[in-house]
Amino acid sequence: MDNIQCHQAVGVLGAVACGEKNEIKRPALQGQETKVKKMTSHAERVKKGQAGFAVVFAAGLVCAGLGLGTTAKAQTADWPTKPVRLIVPYSPGGGTDIISRRLAQGLGPVLKQSVIVENKPGANGIIGTDLVAKAEPDGHTFAIVVSTHLINPIVTKNMPYDTFNDLVGVTVVADSPLIFVTSSQFPAKTMAEFTQAMRAKTDTYSYGSSENMTKLVGAMYANSEKLDMVSVSYKGGAPLMTDVVSGVTTVGITSILTARNFLDSGRLTPLAVTSAQRSAAVPNVPTMQEAGVKDFEITLSYAMYAPSKTPKAILNAMQKAVHQVAMSPDMKAALADQAAWPVAQPVDEFNERIKKEAAFLQDLAKRINLQGD
């Protein structure tokens, strides 16, 4: 800030705080010369010193306040200064991994810096997310997680981080429905046939999930149809698909992105999608409600988070970069092909969504008595 701005803000008494050395002259009394009397007591010196400090300190605060805008710009002027890490707390090959790698390819040129995807699977995404929660909040480490991030605190004891205080939302990269799939070798070809088979021998069948969100959706189905199925948890969508294809696990709940190659190759049979409308990516697959499962509607979010103390200016800059990539024709086409659609809303809007979504998912988890592993 220059001295003219500072003078406008605090007046002549703040000149010292702004770096000026001009004297402040007092007018002479009529018939007398202006005299500066020496202080004769220690008390007077202290008193005057405190008063002078108060004026200068107050002036300095005002000047500093006027510089906040330039401070925010300075925080992002040189950002990023090193490679940016996108931590995916799930196994390679799953939906989150696929979207994160496509996003990273687009972010590199926008940020003019390398963007590296690192898979840190385990404990329903908690291990990798904990790494981000404890990372330096300098805008170089982010997490890409699915909605299970908001369910983990209610089904997991002794969480290593505070979901809502140690992390802050940046934006939702994309939303997508989930899909129920079974091995092509399994006799059932529709959800109605599958449910009938489950009722016949529930103790011999299982549903597989790769984190707490898909586990919650599997439990929703079993609860609504009054089935006593066995829940099997995996560290990622890819190993889940492998076991469903081989028949080790009867049905898998996953993203269409994760199941797509197995569906295209005919190794999996799609039973139903969880969204309110059919997906353009698998237009012949009915919704759960069309398949006869009442009031069944839920979608999956792929969202970006950062350590909670990351400067707001950097959060906004990253959100804008994600928006630029997500809304590009290439990324839109890639997402549409995988039954997902871009979102990339502003930081504040996303954090409001987090509050509402967390309340909904946690209430649902309690109602169906979802249990952690």
> Using one digit for the tens of pLDDT, what is the confidence trace for 201-225?
866 899 999 888 899 999 999 999 9
**Band (159; pLDDT cuts 50, 70, 90):** very high
Higher per-residue confidence, 373 vs 67:
373
pLDDT for 13: 30
- Listed in order, the ranges of the chain carrying CATH 3.40.190.150 are 79-175+301-367
pLDDT of residue 117 exceeding 70: yes
C-alpha 151/C-alpha 21 separation (Å) is 61
Average pLDDT of span 185-192? 96
CB–CB of 259/252 below 8 Å? yes
pLDDT for 307: 98
CA-nearest of 237, 256, 241, 277 to 334 is 256
Q: Is 87 helix (H, G, I), strand (E, B) or coil?
A: strand
- Listed in order, the ranges of the chain carrying CATH 3.40.190.10 are 177-299
Cβ within 8 Å of residue 213, ≥6 positions away: 146, 147, 148, 151, 300, 361
Query: pTM of the entire structure?
Result: 0.72
**Band (63; pLDDT cuts 50, 70, 90):** very low
pLDDT of residue 83 exceeding 70: yes
Task: Return the CATH class of domain 177-299.
Answer: alpha beta
pLDDT for 296: 93
CB–CB of 276/287 below 8 Å? yes
pLDDT of residue 184 exceeding 90: yes
At the topology level, CATH places domain 79-175+301-367 in D-Maltodextrin-Binding Protein; domain 2 (3.40.190)
C-alpha 259/C-alpha 239 separation (Å) is 11
CB–CB of 203/228 below 8 Å? yes
Average pLDDT of span 356-369? 88
